[in-house]
Structure 1
């Protein structure tokens, strides 16, 4: 079942707003970690190959019950425009390979960082 891109984009926008509330300098790049689940190792590996081609680093694959989890990341800003763009990009890849996008996370970058 494809991911609901509208829900993902709303979640991303909400997270950017939360980060801004903490004083995050969202225009500054930082490492973001992403997680996606796939029904098979071959689907996860195919997605990993596509993500690598887009500049993402693959951190690992791990099977848990009936899901193969793919962890990956990239250094990127998290302003609204950039965050919406990487959300569309990642969800597109995950959807093409039958996966479920679990979301992204990263550290805040503040004045004193």
Structure 2
């Protein structure tokens, strides 16, 4: 079921709060995965091109039943302001191509991950 951008931003804020409660270092960049569904491959491909131009990487394009699922990602932090900004950007692109954004997710970055990142 389609969700408007404000609902997606609110869901993202809940994810950020949950991550903070688990000790996630939300200001640290990490790969964040996104998923969007479209009615046609043409629409998904067009959205994918716009997402690539905006700095995202396309990770997959798969048809399941009547939906074409576009998987994409970017390296980013997930603090409240950053998550709201990328959610607004992605929902805008997906909406322009008639798709439905299904949200974002990724690994937590713990305080000791930060210290061991270079080793």
Matches within 5 A, 1:59-74: 59-74=59-74
TM-score, length basis structure 2:
0.92
Give the drift of 1:6.
1.3
Q: Unaligned regions of 5+ residues in structure 1, if any?
A: none
Q: Unaligned regions of 5+ residues in structure 2, if any?
A: 114-119
Give the drift of 1:25.
0.6
CA distance in 1, matches of 2:82, 2:22: 19
Residues 52-95 of structure 1 show CA distances to partners (whole Å, capped at 9, x for unaligned) of 00110000100001100000000000000000000000000000
How many residues in Structure 1 have an aligned counterpart in Structure 2?
113
**TM-align CA RMSD:** 1.1
CA distance in 2, matches of 1:48, 1:9: 21
Give the drift of 1:15.
0.3
Aligned partner of 1:11 in structure 2 is 11
Aligned partner of 1:44 in structure 2 is 44
Give the drift of 1:2.
6.0
Question: Contact 1:16/1:78 (CA < 8 Å) preserved in 2?
Answer: yes
Matches within 5 A, 1:91-110: 91-110=91-110
Give the drift of 1:112.
1.5
List structure 1 segments (4+ residues) > 3 angstroms apart after TM superposition.
none
CA distance in 1, matches of 2:2, 2:37: 12
Give the drift of 1:50.
0.1
Question: Contact 1:2/1:95 (CA < 8 Å) preserved in 2?
Answer: no
TM-score, length basis structure 1:
0.97
Task: State the structure with more CA Rg.
Answer: 2
